[in-house]
Amino acid sequence: MTSDTTTSPSQGAHGIGTTLAHVGRDPHAHHGFVNTPIYRGSTVLFRTLDQLEGAMCVNTRTGPFVYGLMGHPNSRELETMLARLDGGVGAVVVGSGLAAVSVPLLAFLSAGDHLLMTDSCYGPSRHICTSVLARMGVETTFYDPRAGASIEALLRPKTRVVFLESPGSLSFEVQDVPAIARVCRNRGVTTIIDNTWATPLHFRPIEHGIDVVIHALTKYQSGNSDILLGGVVARDESTWVQLKQTAEAHGHYAHPDDCMQCLRGMRSLEVRLARHESSALAVARWLESRSEVAQVLHPALPSHPDHAIWSRDFRGSSGLFGCVLRPHVGGRAHLKAFLESLRLFGMGFSWGGFESLVVASDIRASRQAAPWTHDGALLRFQIGLEDPRDLISDLTAAFAHAATVV
C-alpha cells in the first residue's frame, strides 16, 4: 500500500486532504482572495527587451510567463497540484484526457519504433495506435494486460514505450505495474500509464517505477461532467521537458476557466472519491447477489481475479466497475428494456461526475492479445454521489421490468 501523504521539500509530509486544500493557490499574491482569479489571455507584455529575451530562455514551469499557449497562472497552479499528488517533477495540462494520452506517445515515439500497448486500453487510445502512430511508421503490439514480468519476451530492440492502463476502464484487469516497470527500467524503455481510474489518491505509479502518468481530469478531478481536461505527470526533468515541448509544438492548450474549475473540483476530491468508492462497492456487492449477473468486475472485490495485486498496490478503489450479464439476460431486447427503464442512471460516456451512468460495450472484436470470451453483455457502471439505496432500487426495478420482456 502507498502512503497517505504527499511530500514537498518546503512543507514536509502532509495528508492528502491538506495538500488538496492548500497546494496550487497563493491568496496574498491576489489581494487575499482565497482562489486565484482566472487569467484569460494570449499576449504577455514585457517592459524591456532584456526581460522579453530572458523570458524566452527560461523553464516555462517556474520562470516568467511568456505567452498564453505556453502556460498561465491557472495552468501552472493545476500542474503544481498534479505533480505534487503524483510525486513527479512537473506536469503538463492539455485540453482533454485523450490529448493527455496522445502527447506522451508522440513525445517518446518516432518512425521505426515499436510500442507495446495493453489490450485493455481505452478505445480511443487503441485508435491512436492503429491510425496516427501507424501512419507515422510506429508499430504497435497489443499485449495481455496480465503479462507482468513476462512482458520482457515481447520487448524488441526497437521497443521504446510500454503503455499501461490499470485497471482497464472497460474490462478491469489490474496490471502488475511494479513488475512491468522493473523490466522496462532495466531495458531503458519508457513506461506510460493511464491512471484515470484510481487517481493519485489511490495509486501513485511513479512510486512503482513508472515514468509518465496520464489523468483524464475530465473525470474525478473535475467531478461535475462539465469540462474536458487532461494532465500528464513526469517522473524526472528530462521527461517533463520532452512532454512540454511536444505539447507546445502541437499547440495544446488548457483553458484557464477549465483549469480553475478542475482545481476547484480537486479541493473536494478526497471526500467525493470516498463516497464514490463506498457506494460503488455497495452496488457491486449487491449485483454479485443477483441471478441476472454472471460476474462483477470490480478489483476491490475478493472475487476479482486480480484482487491480490490490487490489494498490494492500491490505496482504494473508485466509482467505476463492470459486470457481465448472463447470456439469456443480456439479449438485445432484455438489455434495451433494462437500460431504458433506469431512472437514476444516465446512459452515456465518460465517468467521474456526481451522477451515475451505465453503458453497454462489446469489446470482443477489438481485443488482440487477450480475447474477451464472455458471452453475456458487458456493462460499465459509474456510481455517482446519489444514495446507493436509491441506485439499488432503480436497478431492482429495471431488472424486474426487463424480466417481463419476452
Task: Give residues in contact with ligand PLP (CB under 6 A).
Answer: 96-98, 101, 122, 165, 169, 194, 196, 216, 218, 228, 230, 350
Of 19 and 317, CB closest to ligand PLP: 317
Rounded Cα gap, residues 208 and 193, in angstroms: 11
Residues 6+ positions from 321 with CB-CB distance below 8 Å: 172, 280, 284, 296, 297, 298, 299, 380, 381, 383
DSSP result, 267-334: HTHHHHHHHHHHHHHHHHHHHHT-TTEEEEE-TTSTTSTTHHHHHHH-S---SEEEEEE-TTTSSHHH
Of 214 and 398, CB closest to ligand PLP: 214
Minimum gap (Å) between residue 231 Cβ and ligand PLP: 10
Of 14 and 146, CB closest to ligand PLP: 146
Of 330 and 352, CB closest to ligand PLP: 352
Minimum gap (Å) between residue 264 Cβ and ligand PLP: 17
Minimum gap (Å) between residue 186 Cβ and ligand PLP: 27
| Greatest C-alpha distance within the chain | 78
Of 124 and 137, CB closest to ligand PLP: 124
Among residues 9, 7, 14, which one has the least CA distance to residue 270? 14
Strand order in the sheet with 357-361: 293-297, 320-325, 378-382, 357-361, 346-347
Of 165 and 292, CB closest to ligand PLP: 165
Minimum gap (Å) between residue 272 Cβ and ligand PLP: 17
Minimum gap (Å) between residue 10 Cβ and ligand PLP: 32
Of 119 and 292, CB closest to ligand PLP: 119
Cell of 254: 488548457
Cis peptide before 167 (omega within 30 of 0): yes
Residues 6+ positions from 195 with CB-CB distance below 8 Å: 166, 203, 205, 213, 214, 215
Minimum gap (Å) between residue 105 Cβ and ligand PLP: 12
Minimum gap (Å) between residue 289 Cβ and ligand PLP: 28
